[in-house]
Amino acid sequence: MIRLFAAVLVGLTIVATVSTSASAFHCVATSTNGKSGWADRLTLVRAQSVAMRACIVAGGNLGGHFCRITFCQ
């Protein structure tokens, strides 16, 4: 019973510290051809890379156009 209580306490502590919206970053990447991608991640670098990848997958790098990060908060 003590192990279960300790595991629940550790789990709730991790969830409380990781899942706060104040610790997350939101980034948007857009392309000159109108394609875009966005991401919400815990670290700025990860949010930027996922947003760029989403923009590229959407077709933002086709035909001489390119994706760039336009917004991060």
30 DSSP β-pair partners? 36, 68
Ordered by start, the domain boundaries in the chain are 24-73
Give 19-63 pLDDT, tens digit per residue: 555 669 999 999 999 999 999 999 999 999 999 999 999 998 998
Mean pLDDT on 10-24 = 60
Is the pLDDT score of 12 beyond 90? no
**Residue 8 CB neighbours (<10 A):** 10
| Continuous segment of H or E residues that includes residue 36 | strand 36-41
Q: What pLDDT score was predicted for residue 6? A: 60
Q: Based on the number of CB atoms within 10 Å of its own CB, is 69 exposed (0-12), middle (13-18) or buried (19 or more)?
A: middle
* Pick from 17, 25, 27: nearest CA to 42: 25
Query: pTM to 2 decimals?
Result: 0.67
Q: Yes or no: say if 27 and 70 are a contact pair by the CB < 8 Å rule.
A: no
